[in-house]
Structure 1
C-alpha cells in the first residue's frame, strides 16, 4: 500500500500510467470487450487488469493520478451504443461523474462508434480491463501534462 494512492492501482497499472506520455491513449474496458486480443496490439502489448470493480471505481482511481489532455476535444471518449449513439447508459453516466469530479468541472465525453473505438484501442498505449459487467463500459482517455511547480 502507498499513502495517497488508491489500492485499486496495482503495480503494473501504476507503471503503465507513469510510463505513458502526453498524447498516449489509455483504454478502460468492461468484461465483454475483446481486451486480451486488442491489448496485444497496443504499445504495451499485454493486458492490465483492475478486477472486481465497476468502471466508475476504476476510472476514479486512475484519474486520481492521470491528467487528461487539455489540448484536444477527444481526451475522454465512450463507446457509443450500436443503433442508439446518443443514448448514455447508467455505466457511462457514472463514469462521466467521476471525470467531472476529477477535473473539477464539466468535461463531456465524446461518443465513439463501436468499430472506431476498437481501432482507437489498438493504437492505445494500453488496455485496462475492469470487473464491469454492464454493456458499454468502455472508455478512452488521452493523457495530458502536469505543469511545472510555480516558483
Structure 2
C-alpha cells in the first residue's frame, strides 16, 4: 500500500498507467464491453463502477491538450431513445482535475475498432448503458 493512492487502483492498473505515453489511450469499459476479446492489455476491475475508477484515475492522469477531444464516449445507437445520465457524471469528474470542454461521440463499431488499438482496456462491473469511455493521455507539466 502507498499513501494517497486510492485502493481502487490495483498495482496492475498503476503499472499500466505509468507505462502509457503521450497519445496512448485507455478504454474504461462497462460490464457489457467485450474487453477481453479486444485488448492488447486487459486490466480487470471487477466490482467497481466506471465513475469510481474514472475519479481515481483522473487524480494522476493528464489528458492530451494537443487534440480537440481527449475523451471519447460510445455514441448512442441511432434510433435508441436513450440519454445516458452517466455522461454528466463523467463530465463533472473530469472537470475536477482537468480543463475540459466536450466529449467526442464515437459510433459503436468505430469505438470497438479504436479500442482494439488502445494501449489498455480496463473492464469494470458498471451496469449503466453507454458507459464506455476512452481517455487519451497527455504529458505531465510541472
Q: Any unmatched runs of 5+ in structure 2? A: none
Instruction: Please give the TM-score of this superposition, normalised by the length of structure 2.
Output: 0.93
Residue of structure 2 in register with 1:57 after alignment: 52
Residue 48 of structure 1: aligned partner: 43
CA distance change for structure 1 residues 88 and 108 in 2, over 3 Å: closer, same or farther?
farther
The match for 1:123 among 106, 111, 117 is 117
Which residue in the other structure is 1:93 paired with?
Answer: 88
What SS does structure 2 have at the residue aligned with 1:26? strand
Structure 1 stretches of at least 4 aligned residues deviating more than 4 Å after TM superposition: none
Q: Which residue of 2 is the match for residue 67 of structure 1? A: 62
Alpha-carbon separation, structure 1, partners of 2:131 and 2:138? 22
Aligned residues: 142
Would you say the 8 A contact 1:99–1:107 is kept in 2? no
Residue 106 of structure 1, CA deviation:
3.9
Contact 1:55 1:91 in 2 (8 A): no
Give the C-alpha shift of residue 52 in structure 1. 1.5
Partners of 2:25 and 2:100 lie apart in 1 by 20
TM-score (norm 1): 0.87
Unaligned runs of 5+ in 1: none
Q: CA deviation at 1:145?
A: 0.1
Q: Which residue of 1 aligns with 2:20?
A: 20
Is the 1:79–1:139 contact (alpha carbons within 8 Å) kept by the matching residues of 2?
yes
**Aligned alpha-carbon RMSD (Å):** 1.7
1:37 maps to 2:32: no
Within 1, Cα distance between the matches of 2:86 and 2:76?
12
CA distance in 2, matches of 1:102, 1:84: 34
1:88 Cα deviation from its structure 2 partner: 4.4
